[in-house]
């Protein structure tokens, strides 16, 4: 089992502490889960689209039954009505293998997903693979919102019977957030766009967000905190969308600052209503241009520090993709579709994780912003290992390899380095150029008063 302590050192020493971290539990067979919804009135009832079928559980994932007729498309977003759990909406359909269904941008069920019908009046009929990317609901007003990459944002005030285009002036985007307190919408596309409930126009609130090296600004994910002016978004930092960074605003987007968490292809970011300091983000392992870890990132202090819990996941499958992140506040559980893989094998399915409560509250003065990222790969290694790290400011860096007894093996860096990405390799030799024996070693980077350590395994 992977050690959570070692994983935490990738990000920051000052993270939350728990007496015993819970484990991920697989609750489906080998399903490619494209959509997930939780019944807001019964935490034991979940719905998933499992690739070639639609499934429901009434016992928290112990057993699943195939249900539904008329939904011959694969949705990418499901919503269960918070007032009537027999009502569901499915958005973003693409045809299942070997099926040529009636085109439906949005489908609706009024009998608990037993049957579905077309519910997309007012939404343009697209071609060339264009489709609804997602659905959101404003529970305060019972409004529905759909968004896509062509005519970006639609609104329905009658349960999905008719949809109105309210985003004609905004470029196609990737995510939509609703502030259920005042009805404000936030849209992620070539920046962050904001629209008040009674406003006709969208306003750009992107000042301070960075462009990539090609001069483009692309925002992947966005979330608004209820009863607060706080917004989080995820922005592309390297061209072709391979690496993203998390940003935060305390004043509805008037000013942004970086939380300095690097991720790849994030699929979801959320803030818990019950604890707005808890931020959860799902991403996947990246291999190009450099390796970044994937998984479910959790912050307990508003994004100042982050952790990943790999407990219960197999060591033999170190790489991960993560999608369909959901949280059930009634039982304090997060759900996520995880794809675990190495160069030979793949394991996938819907997992759940009981969130632990912090048992140690760090003094706020000890919680510092993450100021760099470190990753080692491949691990284990038998020829050479690459150490990748990114500095957000110029720092004196001391990078040393230690053996399991704490003895120095080889110093790789001992100098002041500029901000940006840095990469260095170690060939498994000591300071004298002699080959070392196989076993466990530690890569340690020191910067000022901060020390970060990563365990590596050498298999000559």
CATH number for position 398? 2.60.40.4070
* Lowest model confidence (mean pLDDT) among 1-10, 30-39, 300-309: 1-10
> Is residue 115 assigned to a domain?
no
pTM equals 0.73
Q: Identify any residues that bridge with 442 across adjacent strands, giving them in sequence order.
A: 402, 455
* Lowest model confidence (mean pLDDT) among 106-110, 199-203, 357-361, 403-407: 357-361
pLDDT tens digits, one per residue of 317-363: 778 888 899 999 999 999 999 988 877 888 899 999 998 765 333 33
> Is residue 2 assigned to a domain?
no
Closest listed residue to residue 78, CA positions, set 25, 124, 137: 137
> Is residue 423 assigned to a domain?
yes
Closest listed residue to residue 253, CA positions, set 225, 279, 280: 225
* Average pLDDT value for residue range 424-440: 92
* Full strand arrangement of the beta sheet holding 185-189: 175-178, 185-189, 191-195, 203-204
Measured over the CA atoms of residue 186, residue 231, residue 87 and residue 133, the dihedral's sign is positive
> Is residue 392 assigned to a domain?
yes
* Average pLDDT value for residue range 266-282: 89
The tally of domains found in the chain comes to: 1
Alpha-carbon distances of 335 from 67, 282, 328, 396, rounded to whole Å? 21, 11, 8, 41
Write out the residue range of the structural domain in which residue 435 sits: 372-458
Indicate the burial class of 322 (C-beta count within 10 angstroms; 0-12, 13-18, 19 or more): buried
pLDDT band of residue 92 (cuts 50, 70, 90) is: confident
> Is residue 427 assigned to a domain?
yes
> Is residue 412 assigned to a domain?
yes
* Average pLDDT value for residue range 399-404: 90
For residue 343, the model assigns a pLDDT of 74
> Is residue 434 assigned to a domain?
yes
């Amino acid at each position: 089992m992977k050690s959570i302590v070692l994983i935490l050192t990738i990000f920051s020493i000052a993270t939350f502490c728990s007496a015993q971290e819970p484990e991920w539990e697989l609750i489906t067979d080998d399903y490619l889960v494209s959509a997930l919804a939780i019944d807001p009135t019964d935490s034991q009832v979940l719905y998933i689209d499992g690739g070639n079928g639609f499934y429901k559980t009434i016992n928290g994932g112990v057993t699943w039954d195939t249900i539904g007729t008329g939904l011959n498309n694969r949705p990418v977003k499901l919503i269960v009505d918070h007032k009537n759990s027999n009502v569901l909406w499915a958005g973003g359909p693409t045809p299942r293998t070997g099926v040529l269904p009636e085109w439906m941008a949005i489908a609706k069920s009024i009998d608990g997903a037993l049957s579905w019908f077309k519910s997309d009046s007012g939404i343009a009929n697209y071609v060339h693979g264009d489709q609804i990317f997602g659905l959101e609901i404003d529970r305060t007003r019972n409004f529905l919102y759909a968004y896509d990459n062509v005519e970006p944002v639609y609104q329905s005030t009658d349960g999905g019977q008719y949809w109105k285009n309210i985003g004609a002036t905004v470029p196609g985007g990737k995510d939509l957030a609703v502030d259920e307190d005042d009805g404000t919408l936030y849209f992620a596309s070539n920046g962050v766009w904001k629209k008040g409930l009674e406003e006709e126009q969208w306003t750009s609130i992107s000042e301070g967000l960075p462009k990539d090296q090609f001069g483009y600004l692309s925002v992947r994910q966005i979330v608004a905190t209820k009863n607060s002016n706080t917004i989080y978004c995820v922005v592309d930092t390297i061209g072709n969308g391979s690496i993203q960074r998390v940003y935060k605003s305390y004043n509805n987007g008037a000013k942004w600052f970086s939380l300095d968490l690097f991720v790849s292809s994030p699929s979801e970011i959320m803030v818990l209503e019950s604890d707005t300091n808890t931020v959860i983000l799902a991403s996947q392992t990246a291999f190009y241009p450099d390796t970044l870890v994937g998984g479910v990132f959790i912050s307990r202090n508003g994004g100042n520090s982050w952790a990943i819990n790999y407990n219960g996941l197999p060591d033999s499958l170190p790489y991960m993709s993560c999608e369909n992140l959901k949280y059930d506040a009634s039982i304090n559980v997060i759900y996520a579709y995880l794809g675990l893989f190495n160069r030979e094998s793949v394991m996938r399915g819907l997992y759940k994780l009981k969130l632990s409560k912090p048992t140690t509250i760090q003094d706020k003065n000890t919680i510092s912003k993450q100021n760099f990222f470190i990753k080692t790969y491949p691990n284990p290694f038998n020829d050479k290992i690459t150490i990748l790290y990114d500095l957000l400011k110029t720092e004196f860096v001391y990078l040393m390899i230690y053996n399991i007894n704490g003895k120095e093996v080889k110093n790789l860096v001992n100098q002041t380095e500029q901000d940006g990405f840095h990469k260095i390799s170690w060939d498994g030799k000591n300071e004298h150029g002699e080959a070392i024996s196989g076993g466990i070693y530690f890569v340690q980077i020191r910067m000022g008063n901060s020390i970060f350590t990563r365990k590596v395994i050498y298999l000559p």
